[in-house]
Chains A and B, each alone.
Chain A
Amino acid sequence: MASNVVMTPRRARPSNRLWRIFANHLATAAAIGSTILVMAPLIAIFGYLLYKGASSLNLAFFTQVPKPVGELGGGMANSILGSGILLAIASLMGVPIGIAGGIYIAEFGRGKRLANMVRFTADVLNGVPSIVMGIAVYGLIVVPQKHFSALAGGAALGIMMIPTITRTTEEMLLMVPLNVREAALGLGVPNWRSVLSITLRTASPGVITGCMLAFARVAGETAPLLFTAFGNQFWSTSVNEPIAALPLQIYVYALSPYDEWHRLAWAGALVLIVLIVVSVALVRYVAGRGVLKGAS
């Protein structure tokens, strides 16, 4: 494609040459400038979050439930617990199905049209707005049950985890060399066993990375919880009751007119971010020293 430019040679006049050098520097400056511009809001968000969040965090935040309007203090202990329960339900649902889907595409469906369709659908499903998932689960679980519940919230999050995990598992399994599989089968290991304890085992750091990324993404989701888990001001561990969640509580407090609640929202945001960043960093650490490097 570059050839048609090159095919018409033009003698480089001095001014032309100067212009080209200038354009080169200009482009370099623009690229560096845009990188700095992109880094600026990130640093601003993190800096402000640390500053605001750290100054509002205290022990009560982790031990108390929200206080009624007008009273100082209180915390988000029930939201932290609620988020934990929701994420546990979501992981129980999303991780096995997601990994199994990935195994199908990589191990059984290679080159088949069905597998390509599954892959494509997973990619497309990844981009579906989370609020739409919320509506669907509302119709599926909340309406028949006639009340909001932790189960519905967890299901909404679990459905969102499936496509992400499927895709990463597939990619990681494809990186495992064929020889490993052949060696296992050559020893007489049944196929299912070879897939589970040889291929999946070899790819496990990558698969874990995928699961953690899906987990981190889902941990901060608010929209699908608005009308599935709904939120709760009190302690609740029942999967059949509305349950509090950290992102929901942050949302409610951020839109409130009270300074005290704003303070709690910042503290909650800091806790949420720390949770997510720690899991992402852990993922990079695990993936960085992964077994895969030696295998592929």
Chain B
Amino acid sequence: MAGQADVTQQTESGSSPGSAPSPVRAFLLNCGSSSLADRTFSTLMLLCALSIFAIVILILYELISGSTLTIQKFGISFFFGSAWDPVNGNFGALPFIYGTVVSSIVSLIIAVPLAVGVAIFLTEMCPEFLRGFLAFFTELLAAIPSVVYGLWAIFVLVPLLRQYVNPFLIQTLGWSGIFTGPNYGFDVLSAGMILSIMILPIISSLTREVISAVPHSQREAVLALGATRWEMIRMGVLRNARIGIVGSVILGLGRALGETMAVTMVIGNRPEISRSLLAPGYSMASVIANEFSEASDSLYLSALIEIGLALFIVTIIVNALARVLVWAVTRGAPVRGT
């Protein structure tokens, strides 16, 4: 492209000096049509694009350099210890990892079937006039800040669960050990519920994208063989889109793992590992949110930053995996090995 500008300049200087340049020419001459300007511009754009790499490297550097203290002191056992004792300088991250994983799994169990159902309804069944409206509404669900979800959960969801749902669960499923113990309301189950509401729009909008990418000929072929609409969706659509759907579910998982505010507000914030979903727990993101600005000594701070590092690496891996899967479907071709 730089050559283009050179040519322009040459023709300008080569034209006879007698004839006055037309207004268009004069305008073009005055707006810096030099290869220098072009090269500066493209370098500038390149630098801004590279800043994304710089951000990742800076985050990684800050997290690693901030957590050297605990990495050296505890090593890998940091992630298997269940003691969290800032006073005596003994740190283990297992209760937080457990709380994060369990609340995320609960949220996926609730959200995935609903999200896929919504996506199928919106792409395959929904009458035209409702589609835009409903899609806008689910997008709106994604735009609500997590602190507002948390606020709503504290004052509406938790009392609701405590009063109606939890007693029922304890009565009917209490024998399994998953729903036992005192009924606080601020527990892992509440955290999973609010998480599921939050990740639903992400999963459903990506699933919708993937389903729309399935070619129409697939649907027509199955319908032409006499399939009902459900059979068409099952054989023609879901089977072709399954990789992308898995990808969008993993993306939702990534969001659930890193969600901070809403979880912090309802999970109960107690670093204990309990089999029951009705016991208060703690999550990786919420321990950072709660204790970071109170961390008194450098070892405590370092432990919190190491939890952040673990969270960063796990979400990077989960997101990269999900992106590859979603791309594989929406790009219409399998991902190349490059």
Residues of A within 8 A of B (CB): 1-2, 5-6, 20-21, 23-24, 26-28, 30-35, 37-39, 41-42, 44-45, 48-49, 52, 96-98, 100-101, 103-105, 107-109, 113-115, 117-118, 120-136, 138-140, 159, 162-163, 166, 185, 187-193, 195, 216-217, 219-223, 226-227, 230, 247, 250-251, 254-255, 262, 265-266, 269, 272-273, 276-277, 280, 284
Contact = CB atoms under 8 A, between A and B. Distances in A.
Given A23-B230, A42-B140, A131-B289, A191 B2 contact: yes
A34 B121 CA distance: 9
Contacts of B49: 100-101, 104-105, 109, 114-115, 118, 166
Nearest to A186: B4
A276 B62 CA distance: 32
28 contacts: A1-B235, A1-B239, A5-B235, A20-B228, A21-B228, A31-B117, A34-B113, A34-B118, A34-B121, A35-B117, A38-B141, A42-B141, A44-B152, A49-B152, A100-B44, A127-B319, A129-B258, A129-B311, A131-B260, A132-B311, A135-B292, A135-B305, A136-B59, A139-B63, A166-B49, A220-B147, A269-B148, A276-B145
B20 interface: no
B26 interface: no
B155 interface: yes
**Per DSSP, are chain B's interface residues mostly helix, strand or loop, or mixed?**
helix
B285 interface: yes
B163 interface: no
Given A2-B222, A136-B58, A190-B4, A227 B292 contact: yes
B165 interface: no
A237 to B, nearest CB: 23
Interface in B302-318: 304-305, 308, 311-312, 315-316, 318
B257 A122 contact: no
B260 A223 contact: yes
A187 B7 CA distance: 12
Interface stretch (B30-38, B74-82, B83-91, B171-179): B30-38
A94 to B, nearest CB: 11
A114 B255 CA distance: 26
B231 A130 contact: no
Contacts of B108: none
Contact of A272 (B5, B28, B148, B338): B148
Given A251-B265, A255-B154, 17 more contacts: A27-B234, A35-B118, A35-B134, A37-B114, A101-B52, A104-B46, A105-B49, A117-B53, A123-B319, A124-B316, A162-B55, A187-B24, A187-B28, A221-B145, A226-B289, A226-B293, A250-B151
A188 B319 contact: no
A254 B320 contact: no
Contacts of A132: 59, 63, 258, 308, 311-312, 315
Contact of B289 (A105, A108, A223): A223
Contact of A191 (B1, B24, B197, B254): B1
B288 interface: yes
B143 A280 contact: yes
Contacts of B197: 41
Interface residues of B, number: 109
A127 B254 contact: yes
Given A101-B49, A188-B28, A276-B144, A6 B113 contact: no
A120 B320 contact: yes
Nearest to B156: A48
Interface in B145-169: 145-152, 154-156
B121 A190 contact: no
Contacts of A195: 41
Interface string B41-71: 1101111111111011011001101100000
Interface of B: 1-2, 4-5, 8, 24, 28, 31-34, 37-38, 40-42, 44-53, 55-56, 58-59, 62-63, 65-66, 113-118, 120-122, 124-125, 134, 136-141, 143-152, 154-156, 197, 200, 204, 218, 221-222, 225, 228-231, 233-236, 239-240, 251, 254-255, 257-261, 265, 285, 288-289, 292-293, 304-305, 308, 311-312, 315-316, 318-320, 322-323, 338
Considering the complex of A and B, which 9 residue pairs feature the smallest CB-CB distances, nearest first? A220-B145, A129-B258, A34-B117, A100-B48, A192-B41, A127-B319, A139-B62, A27-B230, A104-B49
B281 to A, nearest CB: 17
B315 A131 contact: no
B45 A38 contact: no
B53 A118 contact: yes
A192 B46 CA distance: 13
B48 A97 contact: yes
Contacts of A188: 8, 28, 33
A109 B121 CA distance: 38
Contacts of B33: 188-190, 193
A97 B303 CA distance: 33
B259 to A, nearest CB: 7
A108 B40 CA distance: 13
Contacts of B38: 190-192
A2 B218 contact: yes
B143 to A, nearest CB: 5
Contacts of A265: 151
Nearest to A96: B48
A104 B48 contact: yes
B256 to A, nearest CB: 10
A272 B285 contact: no
B141 A191 contact: no
Given A188-B8, A192-B38, A216-B143, A121 B48 contact: no
